[in-house]
Amino acid sequence: MTDKPILMALVDASAYSESLCHYAAWMAKRSDWKVKIYHILDRPGGADQGDYSGQIRLGARSRLLAQLAQMDEARAKLAQEQGRAVLEDAAALIRTEGVEVETRLRHGELLDTLAQKEAAAEMILIGKRGEAASQAMAHLGSNLERILRAAQRPVFIANRRFAPIHKVLIAFDGGASAQKAVEYIANSPSFAGLSVTLVFAGTPNEAQNTAIKAAETQLNAASIRTDILIEADEPEHLLARLCDADAASSNAHDLLVMGAYGHSRVRHLMVGSTTTQMIQSCKSPILVMR
């Protein structure tokens, strides 16, 4: 294997993992990066471990404990087989695009794997919902929320349906994380040659206007065509409208890029419960910058 930069893709058996793999392949192919796919198995012991022996005679109790042990072993074996199948399908999908892939089946806590492996990754990719959640459910996957709080690398949140990225929307408030988002897009080969819109919700002050112009200059210097959109609207409404991937409007964008922290009301979109609301309402994938 080569020492190419790595995209860390976290997959499960959900409907979102297929879209995630397409996005990983799209970015890796444009960047000449490789993809490392992880599937995390919970530690054994999550199943019902109750004591069934209270009113059972010793002989029956011994037989029951033996049966429970066999059931635990069978469940663990089945989970391993399913995990390998998920990884094999994901790797096969990405390899069809000519992208280098590695797979990892790991046991334990997701955040432990993240802490150990994210430093070597350029980006973390995860689906909007996990395999236990349906499209109709009001909440997002708990793993996604935990990763957004813990990750130090950019986190790409895949939507349900893949579409190649042509137009990128950067939520810009002039803060440090928004400027970091601009720098990342300007310097990442995955986004070279795309169209970018810098959007500001509200009325910018003089310092923010200066920051918007500086961001535009930085993106143009990277040969990225850049538009500026300033609207006096609620940030969550404005961003959701501009990132409706199902819309026929030419104003629809294929990717929303946001900083996790900022210095204006946009900051609140990525903190606490409002994070979930923003990700729910945006139909395009989202790249969250730390």
Q: What is the pLDDT of residues 193-232, one digit of tens each?
A: 999 999 998 899 999 999 999 999 999 999 999 999 999 8
- Give a yes or no: residue 266 inside a domain: yes
Contacts of 272 (CB under 8 A, 6+ apart): none
Average pLDDT over residues 52-70: 68
215-227-196 Cα angle (round to 5): 75
Tokens of 4: 């190419």
How far is it, in rounded angstroms, from Cα 278 to Cα 268? 10
pLDDT band at 146 (very low <50, low <70, confident <90, very high): confident
Is residue 128 located within the same domain as residue 206? no
- Give a yes or no: residue 194 inside a domain: yes
Q: Which strands form 286-289's sheet, in the order they lie side by side?
A: 101-107, 34-41, 6-10, 121-127, 155-158, 286-289, 255-259, 167-171, 195-201, 225-231
Average pLDDT over residues 241-252: 64
Q: 92-96, 102-106, 257-261 — which is least confidently predicted?
A: 257-261
Across the strands, what pairs with 289? 259
Neighbouring CB atoms inside 10 A of 230's CB total 16
Q: What's the pLDDT at 232?
A: 85
What is the DSSP code (8-state) at residue 102? E
- HSE, side-chain direction, 13 A CA sphere, residue 18: 5
Domain containing residue 227: CATH number:
3.40.50.620
Give the residue from 139, 158, 177 where a domain finishes: 158
Which amino acid does the sequence have at 144?
Answer: L
Sign of CA dihedral 86, 92, 98, 102: positive
Give the residue from 132, 158, 184 where a domain finishes: 158
The helix (run of H) or strand (run of E) holding residue 25 is helix 16-31
Is residue 204 located within the same domain as residue 87? no
Which amino acid does the sequence have at 245?
Answer: A
- Give a yes or no: residue 50 inside a domain: no
How far is it, in rounded angstroms, from Cα 153 to Cα 151? 6
Contacts of 63 (CB under 8 A, 6+ apart): none
Number of domains in the chain: 2
- Give a yes or no: residue 240 inside a domain: yes
Q: What is the mean pLDDT of the chain?
A: 82
Is residue 113 located within the same domain as residue 211? no
- Give a yes or no: residue 268 inside a domain: yes
Is residue 109 located within the same domain as residue 220? no
Across the strands, what pairs with 230? 200
pLDDT band at 126 (very low <50, low <70, confident <90, very high): very high
Q: What's the pLDDT at 282?
A: 81
Q: What's the pLDDT at 194?
A: 93
Is residue 154 located within the same domain as residue 10? yes
Is residue 130 located within the same domain as residue 228? no
Q: What's the pLDDT at 233?
A: 80
Is residue 100 located within the same domain as residue 201? no
- Give a yes or no: residue 236 inside a domain: yes
Is residue 137 located within the same domain as residue 240? no
Give the residue from 101, 123, 158 where a domain finishes: 158
The helix (run of H) or strand (run of E) holding residue 69 is helix 58-95
Residue whose C-alpha is closest to residue 242's, from 233, 251, 230, 231: 251
Q: What's the pLDDT at 283?
A: 83
- Give a yes or no: residue 88 inside a domain: yes
Q: What's the pLDDT at 148?
A: 83
Is residue 114 located within the same domain as residue 145? yes
Is residue 121 located within the same domain as residue 245? no
Domain ranges, residue 265: 167-289
Is residue 248 located within the same domain as residue 149? no
The better pLDDT of the pair 270, 155 is held by 155
Question: Three-class SS of residue 158?
Answer: strand
Does the pLDDT at position 169 exceed 90?
Answer: yes
Q: What's the pLDDT at 275?
A: 53
Q: What's the pLDDT at 96?
A: 95
Is residue 250 located within the same domain as residue 197? yes
Strands 286-289 and 155-158, bridge-based pairing: antiparallel
Average pLDDT over residues 100-121: 93
